[in-house]
Structure 1
Amino acid sequence: MSNQILKPVDSSKIHPLLAHHTAHLGADRDDIRGAIDRLIHNLINIEDKDGKFLLRLDDGRVLDTKGWHGFEWTHGVGLYGVYKVWELTGDPKAWDIMTSWFEARFKEGMPSRNINTVAPFLTLAYLFDRTGDRRYLPYIDRWAEWVYNEMPRTEEGGFQHIVYNSVNNQQLWDDTLMMSVLPLAKFGLLLNRPHYVEEAKRQFLVHIKYLADRKTGLWFHGWTFDGRHNFANALWARGNSWVTIVIPEFIELLNLPEGDAFRQHLVSTLEAQVKALAQFQSPSGLWPTLLDDPTSYDEAAASAGFAYGILKAVRKGYISKDYEALGVKAALAVRKHINDAGELTQVSFGTPVFNTLQEYKDIPLTSMPFGQAMALLTMGELLVRFI
């Protein structure tokens, strides 16, 4: 008996309810899986060959934020992308990449604590969940204690976005939700400390209050209580994409039930953002790095984050299925920017909060671990649809 071959047919010839469930995607399962493998290979082999993107601190430390062997938010997001691939596929190579990265960092010693260096511990918490490896627990416990008890706070108790080279006094950034707030919620569940979870919820509310733009539904990159303003009022794409990623992750992680008031608030916040994103998507399927400025360059990492968050939120039933086409268009555009070497192209380098919009437009493009990871999230969400 010959093998059955399922091929998409002319959609006009069959009722939508009877169509094959992947016919509308315009994507090929084997191509997506191949892209995932190449993305991971590129992720762990990225190098800053000329030192152009090294972070040089006043105390003499030199940090590699681009290569795979540093300890920054870039690596934290990278690890999370690899973990999500492992969760979906069980790929032993993905598991080895994560555990080897942590083993190497444990030998080197821990970095200074800030908003961004918390990010890798989200993946470590998931690894501990899976293995029960007691060596991981002291690291998770100590860093969780620091986030809850010692992390600098702004007025109203928001997490101040302190980073390696700046304390960013009284500043809230939308990046914080991904880098420290989502990890804190996971720590609370893992360590059976519900007050951590409640604090993570409160951080969401504070950040929504000061960063969500009521006029558009999009998010400003930053807010400062020192002068009480949103800096350049930048509706920066990648900052917005952290929100699109983290809201579905947060709802799923906490298993917030339908009817829960906090879940409803998060969903309405996400819906407002996605509705606005539909208006600003470029013809290419990507989004410009300043969402409301079509003269700014299209940025693939943010677009990958949007695609992932939208598609996952649709799949989980958090937002309307009417938005699926928006997410699929973006995901296919991201796929086009994964080259044969596995690099996600058109990715902007790490970006602080700026006081002018032009500074966002001037950020250089380069391959980065977080870009690779955000593409992994997107390709994984497409792959789920073939199951």
Structure 2
Amino acid sequence: MNHNKSITLIFVCLLFSVNLFAQTQKEEKARNPEYEVPYELPTITGIKDALNSIRVYYESTSTQTIINAETGIEITNISSPNKNAIVSKGFSSEWSYTHGVVLSAFDYIDNVTGDKRFFNNNTKFYDFVIQYRPYFQKQAQTYGAREKIGAWGRILNFHALDDCGSITAAMIKTYQKDKNEEYLELINITADYISNKQLRLKDGTLARHRPQYQSIWADDIYMSVPFLANMGKLTGDNKYFDDAIKQIVQMAERLYVPEKSLFDHGWSVTSGDYDPRFYWARANGWTLMAMTELLSATPVDYPNRDKVLHLYRSMIRSLATLQNGSGFWHNMLDKPDTFLETSATAMFTFVIAKGINEGWINHVYGPVAITGWNAINSRILEDGAVDGTVEGTTFAHDNTYYYNRGTSKYATHGYGPALYAGAEMIRLLQNRNIEIEPTRANARNSTFHFRLKNEWPVKGTSTN
């Protein structure tokens, strides 16, 4: 009997020890952070793989052909126009501002990596446009002009900055490399439209009669400034740089809110000083993307460039504090109960990494860019589609609208920014002026540290 009691006591003690050990292990594990998105330093190889997967998805979206809208059959004989001819559907066939961002990003990836598979898409698309645009001009002359030509929209008759600014900015970049003189006609038509035909306020600020009479949109900073900046580079005419800077500065006078260091989505003459404010993430992303393009194109001492740089730096500082713990930013930047959105996160990641690489902002913002990229990467699907991007969004006047926008991998606004972000992250990881201390796996207290190498003494030398 005593022997059995002893065995039972030993068993109880062992069971207690095992339970205590398991509880201790559980408590120890609970003391370590559990990250929603991997909190780790990305690799250049991993980023390149992500960019390539997006490229492959992009290339798969369209045949880039002319088809009969009624039968779906490809039209190969272009000697005479067909009334039902349209451009085949698909992202890679579009004459659209979102496609312009992708093609600009492809050009940039080519600059960063030298991988010609990206830029080859630029030449292919713009040659396609040049080849078939005269065909649709003949179609319009024969059957009467249509407002839109399938995926090419209003390519024959621009009605808004969306119709030409971003997509033709990428065309300029493509021309700078392949020197196809046939591109110049559309480039010059766009320059004339933006400079002389697009609606402007009395002070020259680009505007729309939508949704209110004489409205300005933060989005239009991107729909105009990158084209103007690249037109300045192409022609050497400072009037384009001057107009680009004027657009940012004068739109900021109506849209930028110093207390938030953010841009309101839109403003109208009607509501004036008491216009309601909505800090939509992608609108702020468009603004910063445009500023980045202009800062890259103009000399450091160019008149009023410092005003743009101040806006850029102030916005970056604000955005760092508004980033969600996952690495994403919210659809409404100042409202953490709105959903986490991909396209704006990609835009912010790009402009922050770019600012560090160019020396426009301090290197301590590096972890913001890393966590932003890791968040974006979590939304790149196996087939290369970029998910979680908010659908096209108008300039609205109520939170309910912004809160309830849909998201989709078919919202093409996220692809170009994701490509740009990846390219700039490669540059950041290759930045020889910066030393990056990565996080330690399964560590209780570990973060990224970016250090500027020239601030620190060489190892082994005295600090006295």
Category of TM-score, reference length = shorter chain: 0.7 to 0.9
Q: Paired residue for 1:44?
A: 59
Q: Secondary structure at the match of 1:252?
A: helix
Structure 2 residue 103 is the aligned partner of structure 1 residue 79: yes
Q: Paired residue for 2:451?
A: none
Matches within 5 A, 1:269-288: 269-288=311-330
5+ residue gaps, structure 2, are: 1-38, 63-83, 134-154, 431-464
Identify which of 204, 229, 239 aligns with 1:195.
Answer: 239
8 Å contact from structure 1 (residues 78, 369) kept in 2: no
Q: Paired residue for 2:163?
A: 117
Q: Cα gap change, 1:69/1:230 in structure 2, threshold over 3 Å: closer, same or farther?
A: farther
Structure 2 residue 205 is the aligned partner of structure 1 residue 158: yes
Q: Which structure has the bigger radius of gyration?
A: 2
Hey, what's the Cα distance between the residues in 2 that align with 1:116 and 1:168?
17
Identify which of 413, 420, 426 aligns with 1:383.
Answer: 426
Identify which of 356, 364, 386 aligns with 1:314.
Answer: 356
**Equivalent residue letter for 2:418:** A
Hey, what's the Cα distance between the residues in 2 that align with 1:223 and 1:309?
24
CA shift for structure 1 position 189: 2.5
Structure 2 residue 77 is the aligned partner of structure 1 residue 31: no
CA shift for structure 1 position 312: 0.6
CA shift for structure 1 position 183: 0.5
TM-score for both structures, normalised by structure 1: 0.83
CA shift for structure 1 position 229: 5.6
Q: Cα gap change, 1:69/1:27 in structure 2, threshold over 3 Å: closer, same or farther?
A: same
CA shift for structure 1 position 168: 5.8
Q: Paired residue for 1:104?
A: 128
Matches within 5 A, 1:65-76: 67-76=91-100
Q: Cα gap change, 1:91/1:354 in structure 2, threshold over 3 Å: closer, same or farther?
A: same
Q: Paired residue for 1:172?
A: 216
5+ residue gaps, structure 1, are: 1-23, 48-59
**CA displacement, residues 211-238 of structure 1 (integer Å, 9 cap, x when unaligned):** 1112110111111112326754110001
Identity of aligned residues (%): 20
8 Å contact from structure 2 (residues 329, 341) kept in 1: yes
Hey, what's the Cα distance between the residues in 2 that align with 1:285 and 1:150?
41
Hey, what's the Cα distance between the residues in 1 that align with 2:403 and 2:88?
23
**Equivalent residue letter for 1:376:** L
Q: Paired residue for 2:416?
A: 373
**CA displacement, residues 253-297 of structure 1 (integer Å, 9 cap, x when unaligned):** 11333xx56232122211221121122111111000000111110
**Greater relative CO, 1 or 2 (CA 8 Å, sep 6+):** 1
Hey, what's the Cα distance between the residues in 2 that align with 1:251 and 1:207?
17
**CA displacement, residues 149-205 of structure 1 (integer Å, 9 cap, x when unaligned):** 11111242211147xxx5864111111121112201211221232212211111111
**Equivalent residue letter for 2:250:** V
Hey, what's the Cα distance between the residues in 2 that align with 1:217 and 1:299?
20
Hey, what's the Cα distance between the residues in 1 that align with 2:245 and 2:428?
30
8 Å contact from structure 2 (residues 123, 178) kept in 1: no
Q: Secondary structure at the match of 2:292?
A: helix
CA shift for structure 1 position 76: 1.3
**CA displacement, residues 106-156 of structure 1 (integer Å, 9 cap, x when unaligned):** 344334312112211111111211222211112111211221111111242
**Equivalent residue letter for 1:41:** V
Structure 2 residue 226 is the aligned partner of structure 1 residue 182: yes
8 Å contact from structure 1 (residues 76, 117) kept in 2: no
Q: Paired residue for 1:247?
A: 291
After superposing the two structures, state which structure 1 stretch, 359-368 or 306-315, moved more.
Answer: 359-368
Identify which of 120, 144, 147 aligns with 2:194.
Answer: 147
**Equivalent residue letter for 1:78:** V
Hey, what's the Cα distance between the residues in 1 that align with 2:87 and 2:157?
12
Q: Secondary structure at the match of 2:182?
A: coil
8 Å contact from structure 1 (residues 125, 190) kept in 2: yes
Hey, what's the Cα distance between the residues in 2 that align with 1:221 and 1:207?
11
Q: Paired residue for 1:219?
A: 263
- Number of equivalent positions: 347
Q: Cα gap change, 1:106/1:361 in structure 2, threshold over 3 Å: closer, same or farther?
A: farther
**CA displacement, residues 35-91 of structure 1 (integer Å, 9 cap, x when unaligned):** 0000112223347xxxxxxxxxxxx99999973322221111121121111222222
Q: Secondary structure at the match of 1:353?
A: coil
Structure 2 residue 326 is the aligned partner of structure 1 residue 326: no
**Equivalent residue letter for 2:296:** E
Q: Cα gap change, 1:214/1:125 in structure 2, threshold over 3 Å: closer, same or farther?
A: same
Runs of 4+ off more than 6 Å = 60-66
